[in-house]
Amino acid sequence: MRKRSNGMLLFIILIFGLIGSLIASNVYVVTILGTHLNSQTDLDDYAANINTQTTVLQAKRGYILDRNGNIIAQDNESYTLVAVVKDIRQSQKETAAYVVDQAKTAEMLAPILKAPVAYILDKLASAASAGKFQTLFGSYGNNLTLAQKKTIDALAMSGLVFQTTITRNYPLGPFASHLIGFSQFVTVTGENGEELEMIGKMGLELIYNESLLGTNGKQEITVDRNGYVLPGSKVIKVDAVNGNDVILTLDKSIQETLEATMKQSLAQFSADQAWGAVMEISTGKVLAWGQAPSFDPNNINITDYTNLGAQYAFEPGSTMKAFTYAAAIDAGVYNGSATFDSSSFRMGIKNGLPIRVKVNEAAVEVINNSNHKNWGIISYDTGFVYSSNVGIASLLTTSLPADTFKSYIEAFGFLKKVATDGLPETIGQMSFKYPIEKLTPGFGQGITVTMLQMMQAYSAIFSDGTMVKPYFIEQIRNAYTKEVLYQGSTTVAGSPIKATTAKKMQALMYKVVYDERATGKNYAIPEVNIIAKTGTAQVAINGTYSTGKTLFSVMLALPAENPQIMIYYAFQGNYTNRAHIDTAAVTQLIRKVALTYNLHKPTDTNVNPVLSQSVTSVTIPALVNHTTGYAMQKLLPLKTPILMIGSGTSVIAQYPSADTVTLSNQRVFLVCDTSQISMPDMIGWSRKDVQAFLTLTHFPGEISGEGNVVSQSIPVSSILSQESVIQVTLK
């Protein structure tokens, strides 16, 4: 028994001794020879010159899109083909990682790269004979598409690798370029040291850089002295996070038409520059915004960085007269049938204020109509239609006090920033110190404005007196989840005039187009009625009016009966008497807008369809916390359309809000109960009506198209739930 125990002990000792010997020998081999006996791995690669290689995974910048999803700016990946012609892994027994068969490689690559076989073969052979590690293929191998890369990968030929390059691409070329701007790669210091980031350098690319900018990722791998990945080494990867997408209010088709018309004006009139914009009146959404000359952001061939629409302050000329007339009407001092002498206005001074003096009296200043026209004794209504400077001077010296006029200029938002979507702006100036300076702003001289300010101010005249702020950003969305991070919305900037004033101004602006001797008659098109005001102004250069340079402009809206869209269009150059006659460029833009929004001339034509409408100004009473009976008693005399929401007996919310001054054709919404709401018949509703209903009831909704509602997803009288998504189509 003892002998058996001793034998077992001896056996165990021998086994442990053998194991120890194996471990010792393996340590000896690893230490001295640098080889792992079990795996036969050459540990020289691990022990000597081991590096951790960090690769930055480039994040993609977010898309910039128009309102319909058309891409305005995007990051594109392109690929450069690299051929490895020398095997530097002499100690490794892996599959060859270089081009082995140069002739076959050249033959296979030629049709994909669209390059001569001889050219490719020469590149490979020359690099190999020169002892180079790798070679490129010039323009044939640069900027390859993903499809080309996949085709080459499918060949499974050794030694062919790719370098990935990300570039910012603007597929539409010159497209609102001074608004969109551009971005470029710059070197920044990040968590991984120095790395490249695509940074906005101008326009919305710069303003919304933080939203568009993604977060770079990284990949860490262990490589040997030659830069090859060591077998079994750990790979640490942090994925890049792409930037958010920015969706604009711009409409591609309208924008491209605006771009084309501005180029046409430059060529037709040898103009120096042109600029213009198209905007929804009720919402403030800018559908088009541009200038010419412009630039292609793909080439960044910029000669002028000024965004003319927001940063160029100019004397507007006669388009300013609409605000002078609106001020007089709104202040209750205007009589359109009253007359004035349209001959030269000779200005004198009395008690520090300008007055009109007789022909035989000394004059300090003389104000003339354009081209010194004299229509004799005419009414103020006619003076507006003919765009009389003398009529403005007469109105401001007989009816509209200077301080009152100045207060309206300020109420319309001039002389201060519009402050929309972060755009850099010029404010504009007006001196109102000397007597002559109390008259000239009335006809658009002695005051400078921007197109952005004009769009905002005219929104009041073209609507019910409500002034809205133009805006460009519809949404900012997460690129992956499509979650809306920011939603643009209508901002009311004020109510400078009453609804009745706005309606009277629209009637006058209708005459500017359709009266026989009106200045805007050449802007009329047969498809739709429009209202307009033209402008012709001398250009002030270094404080002195140029004898040659002139600004020609027009502000118009359509349709005349119920303005929905406004267009501002201007160009500046040498004087011509054809600017408001040869209007093909602008009428082309009007037609495009009318077609896009399905706007037509009414079949029932009137002498002045704007005036013929039996629409009055009404003030909405306070109805919340009152009974429905009380509400109906108050609303019925106003003759407004009324929609009761819910079946309760008390009003818990209303739209428009109390004391709002609006037109009698504005639908009034009264929420009486939120527990059981039935789907109304929305056919014929405006976008504004649909949005009001969704806001009051808090139901989710999707509105597509423009115009009035032609279809709805939920049948009329269906009971709505919070899961209901109300989808309507406008046309």
Active site residues per annotation:
318
**Which residues fall within 8 angstroms of residue 51, CB to CB, at 6 or more apart?**
222, 223, 225
**Rounded CA separation 699/717 (Å):** 15
**Which residues fall within 8 angstroms of residue 535, CB to CB, at 6 or more apart?**
316, 317, 318, 319, 320, 444, 551, 552, 553, 554, 555, 570
- Work out whether the CA dihedral 303, 307, 308, 314 comes out positive or negative: negative
Instruction: Please choose, from the candidates 529, 674, 702, the residue with its C-alpha nearest in 3D space to the C-alpha of residue 607.
Output: 529
694: phi then psi, degrees, rounded to nearest 5: -65, -40
Token reading at 634: 């108050």
Helices 321-330 and 499-514 cross at an angle (nearest 10°) of 140
319 contacts 444 by C-beta, under 8 angstroms: yes
Continuous H helices in 540-618: 584-596, 609-612
Instruction: Please choose, from the candidates 74, 132, 84, the residue with its C-alpha nearest in 3D space to the C-alpha of residue 105.
Output: 84
**Rounded CA separation 47/90 (Å):** 17
**Rounded CA separation 6/711 (Å):** 99
695 contacts 703 by C-beta, under 8 angstroms: no
512 contacts 384 by C-beta, under 8 angstroms: yes
Helix-, strand-, coil-residue percentages of the chain, each rounded to 5: 30, 30, 40
Token reading at 143: 């900027």
**Rounded CA separation 341/355 (Å):** 14
